[in-house]
Structure 1
Amino acid sequence: MDMEFDGATEKEAVQKAMDELKIQDFEYEIISETKKGLFKRPSVRIRVIREDDPSAFEPVERAMDEESDEEEEEFAASDTGKPENDMERDIISFVDGLSEKMEVKFVSEIVSRGNKGKINVNLKTDEGSFVIGYKGERLDAIQIITSAYVLKRYSDKNIKVVLDVDDYRQERMQKILKDSIAQAKKVKSTGRSVFLDPLNSYERRAVHKAVGDMGGLATESYGNGLLKRIKIFRA
């Protein structure tokens, strides 16, 4: 039988579960989360995963099912930040157009180009925190829309456009890896598996590799949608 608990925050929902189930150690998944809005109160619903529950959710991905590790790509910095050909001009024009449609002020500038078709683009803005959004949600939304456009328009080319705001992605990745390795060390010493916060595919791939390199541990991804949680456990 599924056991679900609600709270204004994840911590509150977990505390309710502990109080009702009379246990301190258990695994759970966040099944819904509502952010605070002008007329909405924040809420989080969790589902407790019980070892004797045959309906406990199954991993939707294992480490090898994530996007395969990409070979190292060499990058050349852009001297001007401006597009150099019609394709780049079209992509930059599309991204800048999103600024108007989403009522978010930013201007796109090309930071570097990879020898395998990757283009790194910085969204120059005075409203960095707003453009990035909570845990990068707004930046990820802009990224998804841009990636879909590039894939549809230039499906015959090996082009990948990565958007960032003042190295936010790099700084977030460093924090994610630091926290993941710390959690992995706990799993190694205690034997108890842990779940990480929801991550996108790029972040999950990096975590799978970092934890796998530690030896003696395994990872699986759980959940639906673009963001999934990684479970770290002893191999």
Structure 2
Amino acid sequence: MPAETEIAAEETVPQDGAAGTGRLEEEGDIAADYLEELLDIADIDGDIDIEVRNGRTYISIVSDEETDSLKDLVGRDGEVLDALQELTRLSVLSATDTRSRLVLDISGYRDRRNIELTRIAKDAAEQIKAGTASVALEAMGAYERKIVHDAIAELGLESESEGEGASRHIVVTAGQ
């Protein structure tokens, strides 16, 4: 018996007058249809929530019970989640001919990881303020680097991405 998937949409309109919100809603619908089909094929239960905020579409897959199936969709260090996000973006691209910046989350993994990344940024800032010239962080994907760069900037320090491919990481400095 195929899994039952529920889709709920919630819209948070950006304060700039909702420019492009219709396109983002369409993007969310296409992504949700793609993910719903994927969940049905894999016989995984989950609800799909769509939210448009800050000029970006956020898709969340959640379940009442924390199942191993959803954990498997996150994978080790979010690797499977990142791959699913890219596949979902490709699905939107093929349907709309427009590149998508949607963010996919499963069982709150990204929220938990964002908290961890903010802590990592604060720890690096403390090391810099204690006199360390620079702090090199672990390698991470573009989405996670963006979160860390933003957190470092809020702390009044500078950060730069270095390295290539899977070795790309952030180096934090006090700046000028």
Contact 1:75 1:113 in 2 (8 A): yes
Matched, 1:124 2:43: no
Matches within 5 A, 1:140-159: 140-156=82-98
> Once the two structures are superposed, what CA deviation does each residue of 1:42-92 show, in whole Å capped at 9, x if it has no partner?
xxxxxxxxxxxxxxxxxxxxxxxxxxxxxxxx717xxxxxxxx87655432
Cα distance, 1:160 vs. partner? Answer: 4.1
Aligned to 2:51: 112
Please identify which structure carries the higher helix content: 2
Cα RMSD, aligned residues only: 2.9
Cα distance, 1:130 vs. partner? Answer: 1.6
Output the amino acid matched with 2:143: Y
SS at match of 1:136: helix
Aligned to 1:97: 37
Contact 2:28 2:57 in 1 (8 A): no
Q: 1:91 to 1:227 in 2, by over 3 A?
A: farther
Separation in 2 of the partners of 1:138 and 1:106?
17
SS at match of 2:83: helix
Aligned to 2:169: 229
SS at match of 2:155: coil
> Once the two structures are superposed, what CA deviation does each residue of 1:114-164 show, in whole Å capped at 9, x if it has no partner?
374x332222352232221111111111001111221232135x8543211
Cα distance, 1:99 vs. partner? Answer: 4.0
Separation in 2 of the partners of 1:87 and 1:207?
26
Matches within 5 A, 1:208-219: 208-215=149-156, 217-219=157-159
Q: Percent identity?
A: 25
SS at match of 1:196: strand
SS at match of 1:221: strand
Aligned to 2:4: none
SS at match of 1:105: coil
Q: 1:212 to 1:89 in 2, by over 3 A?
A: closer
Task: Tell me the TM-score normalized by structure 2.
Answer: 0.69
Separation in 1 of the partners of 2:28 and 2:121?
36
Contact 1:120 1:161 in 2 (8 A): yes
* Aligned counterpart for 1:194 among listed residues 130, 135, 145: 135
Output the amino acid matched with 2:34: F
Output the amino acid matched with 2:52: R
Aligned to 1:75: 12
Task: Tell me the TM-score normalized by structure 1.
Answer: 0.54
Q: How many equivalent pairs are there?
A: 150
Gaps (5+ residues) in structure 2?
A: 1-10, 14-24
* Aligned counterpart for 1:205 among listed residues 137, 141, 146: 146
